[in-house]
Structure 1
């Protein structure tokens, strides 16, 4: 049995949304993606393996849709998931095995912004010249935002949720344009979950800061 024989059933239509067939790949990406973000908002460690499964589904989906940067991004996401899985369980330092939620420092913001701008420009040029992508800039921008947000998530930076929110606001119309309606709807759900996650992590940070203040006092 070849790889194509294994993957072909995942590409078959499952349902039809607004006259457009939705494949098993897109449906499975929808479900695993929503579950992953829900788990992240609750700082549950299971978000990492669920996220890796989600990335694999989206590699197939985005390759089929000509969103090559997004497809390649999923491979990077898998590597970051392994890193995030480790930091969430070992990154707290001596006496704190669990990584705590914290704010992004100015140095980290500067580095993330510089990397984001450089990455967006480089990917835009690459996609425009080396692929048949019809949306090179938007594909590159969402890639850069998603990478920065995922890194922040790995380090439990509260502001990583703002980066995800910005990415989702671009992803929603982008996937609609590409007629990936179920995925576009998924990102509407992601946007709502990101707002919930931001509120939850802020609350956790406030509790931790209050506990530190009381311990010093």
Structure 2
């Protein structure tokens, strides 16, 4: 079986939700995405390989839906996941990488990069693609990249960035007819709140070992 046969099979409808077909890709993206966020909240290193699988499913899903920035974002996520996996595995002097707060310098760099990135991606989507939601697609891309950087470095405030992104993603995916993915991001939002609470506790009283 060729790669095109596999991707074609994954894009076949599995069931219908609100008169909209839901593909295998969306279902698998739902499951792997929920598991990934849960593992991140638990500070479990397995979140990285699960997240990479989720990115691959979403590349197919978002390309089919015309969310080109989100599809391209998944490729960047895979590269960042490799970095995050390495960072978490290495730790600090042989110990688990601790949760820390984002520094003022990091915030300045992230905010400037986020604003410039949103503007640049919006322009690119308007001029080079048929995206019907260029600004919102670009904004979520920038927020997600900022949050992923924080996740790789175990910065507490990365959860606030994910929460902001999810609040845009939920109506955006519903607008594009990806209802199951929209529901998934409601779950992501709840998991992000849980992750924020757990990482805040970890910051106050660092744990000696990674949660199993």
**Could you say which TM-score interval applies, normalised by the shorter chain?**
over 0.9
Does structure 1 residue 165 correspond to structure 2 residue 172? no
2 CA distance for matches of 1:126 and 1:138?
13
1:5-55 C-alpha deviation (Å, 9 max, x unpaired) = 121110111111111110000000000000000000000010000000000
Larger Rg: 1
TM-score of the superposed pair, with normalisation by structure 2:
0.96
Matched with 2:70 is 70
How do 1:118-197 residues align onto structure 2 when only pairs under 5 Å count? 118-197=116-195
TM-score of the superposed pair, with normalisation by structure 1:
0.93
TM superposition shift of 1:75: 0.3
2 CA distance for matches of 1:208 and 1:105?
19
Tell me, which stretches of 5 or more residues in structure 1 are unaligned? 212-217
Task: Give the ranges of 4+ consecutive aligned residues of structure 1 lying more than 4 Å apart after TM superposition.
Answer: none
Secondary structure of residue in 1 paired with 2:177: coil
Matched with 2:46 is 46
Which residue of 187, 191, 199 corresponds with 2:197?
A: 199
TM superposition shift of 1:117: 0.3
Q: CA RMSD in A?
A: 1.3
Secondary structure of residue in 1 paired with 2:149: helix
The count of residues paired between Structure 1 and Structure 2 equals 208
Q: Relative CO higher for 1 or 2, CA cutoff 8 Å, sep ≥ 6? A: 2
2 CA distance for matches of 1:8 and 1:105?
45
Q: 1:8 to 1:105 in 2, by over 3 A?
A: same
Tell me, which stretches of 5 or more residues in structure 2 are unaligned? none
Does structure 1 residue 100 correspond to structure 2 residue 130? no
